[in-house]
Amino acid sequence: MRILGIDPGTGITGYGIIDVDGNRIRHVDNGIIKTRSSEVLPLRLKAIYDGLTSILKEYTPEAVAVEQVFMAKNPRAALTLGHARGTAVLSAVNLGLEVHEYSALQVKSAVVGYGHASKQQVQQMVKILLTLPEVAQEDAADALAVAICHANSRTLRLAVSSSMRR
């Protein structure tokens, strides 16, 4: 199964793609979609939408996982982040894909084993889990972590479902 993880942001949206075969997870690609801070929000959202749509069409994932919006101290920042997240969800839904959402706590717990892990700990663990030659850019590493979280959650759901059928 191919999974696209997305770490939404209006300035930088990270993406990470992994393939899952049983318990094996393999890195496919990762990167960022960067927007210009000088542009108005609608044009930045269009750039995110177009970038993610292009990635979705190129890599054809079977599942998309998105990090949920955290509760920022600044309400305006939270609203702007919500726009980017909505744009990411829309890009996947428009192509008929189901979107799964995970909190930062869930992602960090699934990848590092500790829900309050630092960004650097997440980056290092992603590097180790995917045997990357170097640490991925912060937003791309977060997106890969979201994809890994979904892979682990999916494996757990399948195991529970299988045991309940017995």
Tell me, yes or no, if 139 is annotated catalytic: yes
**Active-site option among 67, 98, 101, 134:** 67
User: 140 and 12 in contact (C-beta within 8 Å)?
Assistant: no
Which pair of tokens denotes residue 154?
């999916």
Beta pairing partners, 90: none
Phi then psi for 114, rounded to 5 degrees? -145, 120
Tell me, yes or no, if 67 is annotated catalytic: yes
Beta pairing partners, 5: 16, 65
**Active-site option among 29, 39, 62, 139:** 139
7 sits in which H/E element: strand 2-7
**Active-site option among 7, 21, 98, 134:** 7
- Cα pseudo-dihedral 111, 132, 136, 60, rounded to 10: -80
Rounded-to-integer distance, Cα 47 and Cα 85, Å: 13
β-strands 2-7, 63-67 pairing: parallel
Tell me, yes or no, if 29 is annotated catalytic: no
Catalytically active residues are 7, 67, 139
